[in-house]
Structure 1
Amino acid sequence: MPVVAIYNVQGQQVGDLELNDSIFAANINQAAVHQVVVNHLANLRRGTHSTKSRGEVRGGGKKPWRQKGTGRARVGTIRSPLWRGGSIIFGPKPRDYSYSVPRKLKRVALKSAFSSKVKDDKFIVLDQLSFEAPKTKEMVNILKALNNTGVKTLVIIAEKDDNVTKSIRNIAGVNVINSNNINVYDLVNHEKLIMTKDAVAKVEEVLA
């Protein structure tokens, strides 16, 4: 069972925390992580791209010159895909890129992502994180105290907290989500992971 240190906002170790083996020390399944990340990115695509086919391009109703006798190639319309201003051959049309993956696969990928952070020593647990009012400067000082500056960092809190969100959102490379919105892409896309003790408990409650 992996044991990690618990830090306070001053960067001082205030205790230890035993993590759940099945979540934070699971076998890392890279194939599952890849599939879920690709699915996440596909679901984000709006699919609003559109090009005009030959029947949709305006104009080109008149044959530009006669079929034979001019010495030039035969052409039926100036809106041919071969001409500038013409249509597009097999161009993209609006479509839905979203698809679903099995729930079990998502759980395996989540556990793999968490386990990878713990294994690579890129996982930090805070005893608590709260602000009486939005204070970006205080959050910057907390990151400095944790020796966690200059890297992409994901902060996970137990419940939605506007003061914490507003304190973090202007810090470049640092993002915050609550425990209900955890996804594999965010975990993989950030180098470091900071979680509050309460957030760890909620994750273990759901995934264990």
Structure 2
Amino acid sequence: MASLKVYSLENQEVGTVDLHDDLAQATLNPFIVKDTVVSYLNGLRQGTHKTKERSEVTGSRRKLFRQKGTGNARAGSAQSPVRRHGATVFGPTPRSYKTDINKKVKKKALASVLSEKLKNGQLLIVDNLKLEDHKTKKFLAWMETMNLKKTLFVSSEQDSNFELASRNVTFVKSVHASGLNVYDVLNHTNLVMTKQSLMDVEGRLLK
């Protein structure tokens, strides 16, 4: 078991929390991390791209001019793919980009990136994320005193003041513990978790 310090929002040490060694000392495997991130990003793709085929282009199907005698190259209807505003051949069609990944692999990838944040001193555990004020200016001043840059906040319970204060800050993202994923952890320099959210994530990964 690794013992991690828990801080208040005033940056005062208020206790400790134990973290299982399987999570605290997880070995980083770049291959499964990459596969997990690609799977997550593929899941975000809507896949609604579509071009019109020959039968879907509007307009008359009449032959544009007679086959012989005009001196022009022979032509069919205006929907022909070779003509301007015509159809598209082998164009994109709606599809799902979802790629499945083993649950154990996904858990191992998340455990390893959390372990890396811990080893690099980029993981901060706080007792809660409840703010007294919803002012963004005060929230940014607090982040500066805590020396936080691009930060991912993880909590198990929602605080309206925190959501209001942080929602317009482009370099801050707030997620529920159940929605924590590898991509968000890697995409942020700092990771701030409440004590309860860390315990919830630990329980999910070790189950």
- Shared fold per TM-score greater than 0.5: yes
Matches within 5 A, 1:115-134: 115-132=115-132, 134=134
Q: TM-score, length-normalised on structure 1? A: 0.87
Distance across 1 between alignment mates of 2:133 and 2:200 = 25
Shift of 1:136: 2.6
> 1:47-66, CA deviations, whole angstroms, 9 ceiling, x for partnerless residues?
22221101111124122222
Identity rate, percent: 39
Matched with 2:140 is: 140
Corresponding letter in the other structure for 2:68 = K
Distance across 2 between alignment mates of 1:101 and 1:165 = 32
Distance across 1 between alignment mates of 2:16 and 2:50 = 55
Matches within 5 A, 1:78-117: 78-117=78-117
Contact 2:129 2:159 survives alignment (8 Å): no
Matched with 1:44 is: 44
Contact 1:30 1:112 survives alignment (8 Å): no
Distance across 2 between alignment mates of 1:94 and 1:4 = 48
Distance across 1 between alignment mates of 2:125 and 2:117 = 12
Q: CA RMSD in A?
A: 2.1
SS of aligned partner of 1:55:
helix
Of residues 49-58 and 131-140 in structure 1, the stretch that sits farther from structure 2 once superposed is: 131-140
Contact 1:3 1:17 survives alignment (8 Å): yes
Contact 1:25 1:118 survives alignment (8 Å): no
Matches within 5 A, 1:52-67: 52-67=52-67
Matched with 1:69 is: 69
1:186 aligns with 2:181: no
Corresponding letter in the other structure for 1:154 = L
1:167 aligns with 2:176: no
Shift of 1:16: 5.0
